[in-house]
Structure 1
């Protein structure tokens, strides 16, 4: 069995992650922690194969937790689960050995995909002493997110897909940044960055509405 440690300060989210994890064959949750300090003690004193880690936590956040366990030579695999979509946080997490990055609210199928890809990686490394090219291709092609050049522009592929999914509901109707921000539960600044990015690519049309009172309102429409 693959031992999974869930590090999440929201009790309801932690239980959802536990339910999702244990619904998959071959996985068992060996512990749930609500802060990074407690999680470090479990990693030191228990056998943990995979950590499902929240980024923002009390006492010790996810990035600091990763730095701490890597400094102490614990190379446990980590899947980051967070509501944050900042490119700099993602980049730093990947450099610290995070193998996947799930942005809340994620769908069960995406969570399942992340764990099954880890399982494939885990089984290859634990059953074979010598790897052939086919084994290596399975690991490198399936277990890491390919963000391409978008990451350099502060664009996260998963968040972009979430926004595109919401925009489908509008058809040819105009919408505002504020409306999308409310639906996707991200800041208006973040959503505006994605809408402007899509506008630059020619995917959206941007317009400005001038009311009788107040500031002009920027609206968007799918082309």
Structure 2
């Protein structure tokens, strides 16, 4: 599970960001801060995976805080969530290693996409080596899927996230509908509807497995 810290001076936005993060079972919010100095002190002593960071805050701006964190060797990934949209702030954040930049207000689906990009990057850097296609897809996003839209009527974002999390836990394996249903606590019929949706969006692929010795079985796999 990825650990998350939220640094935001607006309590309402903090609660909203926390709810968005915790709808994805791959993440846990371990701390929140409303000002930069306490966050800087805490993060130097507590390694975490991801920071959700605002720009406009008391004591110092989010980009100034990010500069301080990098100078002190804190290498957590950062997603900027802010109303600041001027070119200098955006460029500074990217230069300091922000993996995504969300301008308020934004839809939940855009936040979900940012988390997905973070997970894809984290999973990719665990490889021993990269092909050019893997670099383009996982790091530079030249061939990444289009921004995530809300699932069609009858499909739930939270359920979709649970299924994707299960598949990403074993990205090189093939899975049957029965196996997925058993692990995520859904009916096989329901799982198939979600798998059809993920297949249509080219997030997963499918193929017939003829090695069962009996009736061929349809299996699903993550696209690399």
Partner residue of 2:23? 23
Deviation at 1:55, TM superposition (A): 0.3
Deviation at 1:35, TM superposition (A): 0.9
Residue in 2 that maps onto 1:141: 140
Q: Counterpart in 2 of 1:219?
A: none
Deviation (angstroms), 1:128: 1.7
The Cα of 1:47 is off from its aligned counterpart by 2.1
| CA shift for structure 1 position 99 | 1.3
CA distance in 1, matches of 2:141, 2:6: 22
Partner residue of 2:104? Answer: 104
Query: Which residue does the alignment assign to 2:146?
Result: none
Shift of residue 135, structure 1, vs aligned partner: 2.4
Question: What is the total number of aligned residue pairs between the two structures?
Answer: 143
Alignment check: 8 A CA contact 2:44 2:72 kept: no
Alpha-carbon distance in structure 2 between the residues aligned to 1:140 and 1:120: 8
1:25 Cα deviation after fit = 2.6
In 1, distance between residues paired with 2:124 and 2:6?
23
| 8 Å Cα contact 2:47-2:76 kept in structure 1 | no
Equivalent residue runs for 1:49-198 within 5 Å: 49-125=49-125, 127-142=126-141
What corresponds to 1:40 in structure 2? 40
Runs of 4+ in 1 over 2 A off after TM superposition: 129-135, 139-143
String of CA shifts for 1:166-194, please: whole Å, max 9, x gaps. xxxxxxxxxxxxxxxxxxxxxxxxxxxxx
**Map 1:5-20 → 2, pairs under 5 A:** 5-20=5-20
Deviation at residue 73 of structure 1 after TM alignment: 1.9
Quote the offset at 1:18 in angstroms.
0.4
Unaligned runs of 5+ in 1: 144-223
- Secondary structure in structure 1 of the residue aligned to 2:16: helix
On the 8 A contact 2:85/2:103 being kept in 1, the answer is: yes
Please report how far the alpha carbon of residue 16 of structure 1 lies from its aligned counterpart in structure 2 after TM superposition: 0.5
Within 5 Å, which residues of 2 pair with 1:192-207? none
Given the superposition, is the C-alpha separation of residues 41 and 129 from structure 1 closer, same or farther in structure 2, using an over 3 Å criterion? Answer: farther
Aligned with 2:137: secondary structure?
helix
More helix by share: 1
Could you say what the CA RMSD is over the residues aligned between the two structures, in angstroms? 1.7
Deviation at 1:97, TM superposition (A): 1.0
